[in-house]
Amino acid sequence: MQPRKFRVPQRKTQRRWRVPPALKRGDEIFEGLGVLDELSGEKGLVLWQSLRDALLWAEAQDDERASLFSQDAERARMAMILASQPSPDLEEPLGVLARMLGEPTQISEEMVALACRRVSQWADDEGLLTTALAFAQAAATVTPGDPGVAFAVGKLARRRAEYARAETWFRRTIALARQIGDWATYSQAFLGLGRMYMQRGNLPVARRFLVRAMRAAQRNSLHEIEGMALHDLFAVAGEADRNEEAHQYARAAYEAYGPHSATMPRLAHDVAYWWIRRGHFAEALPVLESVLPHFPQPGDRMTVLGSIARAAGGLGQRERFREAWESAHDLLRTSTTDQGSAQGLLDMAHGAATLGLWDKAETAAREALDTGSRRNEAKIRLTAESLIESVRHHRTVENNQKSTRGDAGVDPMLAQDFVRTLQMSGTHA
């Protein structure tokens, strides 16, 4: 079944798609300094030198590369690599960058760029975002016409909250992708800009970029990317209390994703959580119960358990609240990560307070405050502090369940569709 299109009136404009330059430096004193800040010792030094050599090689002309490095540079670099005892994921890409020193005219740009991308992925997996960004940017310097590599730089810069740098890389991606007809990356770059402005709290600008992402994806039958854009447009509309519009975007995202999309569980959770925030617990709880098996990762699972506890509290279902509470705390005791924990604990505190379980509410709110403080999550800290104050005075912090009659933002049929689709698709555990 083809997804129903949610369309916005289009403007026909003529644009000149000159490829713009992108920012390559943040606030560091010299390029690559962040690598040394994140990684000390021999490993940091070998990564920093490999980065600098890749950038030097990339910016040199073909006829200049033969004389860039000394004759024993490759041998010396391999000795450094062995001394640093790199992880298996780093051995091969660092070896390629060492070979570049010995054979600067024989090695290809594709091989050097791939090596830089693999180091970037390793650093990202290790939580070393500055190093990941530096090597992604090196890959983009080696292959300046590749829109996918440019897009990766934009995403990493956005995640590091380097918004000015991120925007220049997303705009460069758009121009490069349009030149070669890479419409998937073209659409994703607009999506990246929209998410960046959402992150900055500028919802009107975010909406404009997300609409452009949606249109580009629709034109090229890119249903998954179309669903992502509609998903984010739902979030923007919900945040702005445009309930009718949010409802339409939620339905359109569901249809664009289709029943087999790996992103469907996240959409279902986001819509159910929006219903919770507006007091529509009866629609939310069955959806959340169907979502839970699709999130085996501790951080995601903690978030969903918190949402279930809050919805159960809003419905007065003490037993279901207790089950979610115990499952969440079992997870906290066994998990090695606290990602998602603070928000889940806050939602459990809301559910406990609604049920009049004041001790549990204060316990969860204080745990959320501790976790949020440890992770430097300012919004979580402020919300937790306000919640603790309300709980101390035994003030109910959740509205009673609202009637769905006449509320265009609640769609019982969509709730049923989510439950049916998630149950049919099984789990991802």
pLDDT in tens, 343-354: 999 999 999 999
- Residues 229, 393 contacting (CB under 8 angstroms): no
CA distance 135 to 65: 20
Give the model's confidence band at 407: pLDDT under 50 very low, under 70 low, under 90 confident, else very high. Answer: low
Cα-to-chain-centroid distance, residue 300: 13
What is the model's pLDDT at position 398?
Answer: 64
Cα-to-chain-centroid distance, residue 87: 26
Winning range, highest mean pLDDT, from 6-20, 24-38, 57-71, 316-330: 316-330
pLDDT in tens, 262-320: 999 999 999 999 999 999 999 999 999 999 999 999 989 999 999 999 999 999 999 99
What is the model's pLDDT at position 401?
Answer: 47
Kindly tell me if the per-residue pLDDT of 61 is higher than 80. Answer: yes
Residue 399 Ramachandran class (φ > 0 left, ψ -120 to 50 alpha, else beta): beta
pLDDT in tens, 100-124: 999 999 999 999 999 999 999 999 9
What is the model's pLDDT at position 405?
Answer: 41
- Phi–psi pair at 402, nearest 5 degrees: -90, 155
pLDDT in tens, 148-188: 999 999 999 999 889 999 999 999 999 999 999 999 999 99
User: What letter represents residue 57's amino acid?
Assistant: W
CA distance 297 to 301: 6
Count of beta carbons in the 10 Å neighbourhood of residue 237: 22
What is the model's pLDDT at position 7?
Answer: 53
Give the model's confidence band at 79: pLDDT under 50 very low, under 70 low, under 90 confident, else very high. Answer: very high
Residues 6 or more apart in contact with residue 326 via CB below 8 angstroms:
none
- Residues 264, 421 contacting (CB under 8 angstroms): yes
Give the model's confidence band at 44: pLDDT under 50 very low, under 70 low, under 90 confident, else very high. Answer: very high
Kindly tell me if the per-residue pLDDT of 406 is higher than 50. Answer: no
For residue 273, CA distances in Å to 22, 260, 342 come to 37, 22, 16
CA distance 388 to 117: 45
> Percentage of the chain with pLDDT > 70?
90
Give the model's confidence band at 410: pLDDT under 50 very low, under 70 low, under 90 confident, else very high. Answer: confident
- For the CA atoms of 79, 80, 84, 88, what is the dihedral angle to 10 degrees? -70
Averaged over 200-210, what is the pLDDT? Answer: 95
CA distance 370 to 43: 33
Kindly tell me if the per-residue pLDDT of 1 is higher than 50. Answer: no
- For the CA atoms of 269, 310, 332, 298, what is the dihedral angle to 10 degrees? 0
What is the model's pLDDT at position 394?
Answer: 84
What is the model's pLDDT at position 121?
Answer: 97
CA distance 312 to 309: 5
pTM equals 0.86
Averaged over 38-45, what is the pLDDT? Answer: 92
Kindly tell me if the per-residue pLDDT of 90 is higher than 50. Answer: yes
Cα-to-chain-centroid distance, residue 362: 30
Q: How many residues does the chain have?
A: 429
- For the CA atoms of 130, 134, 136, 140, what is the dihedral angle to 10 degrees? 150
CA distance 362 to 390: 9
- Phi–psi pair at 187, nearest 5 degrees: -65, -40
- Residues 348, 306 contacting (CB under 8 angstroms): yes
Averaged over 210-220, what is the pLDDT? Answer: 98
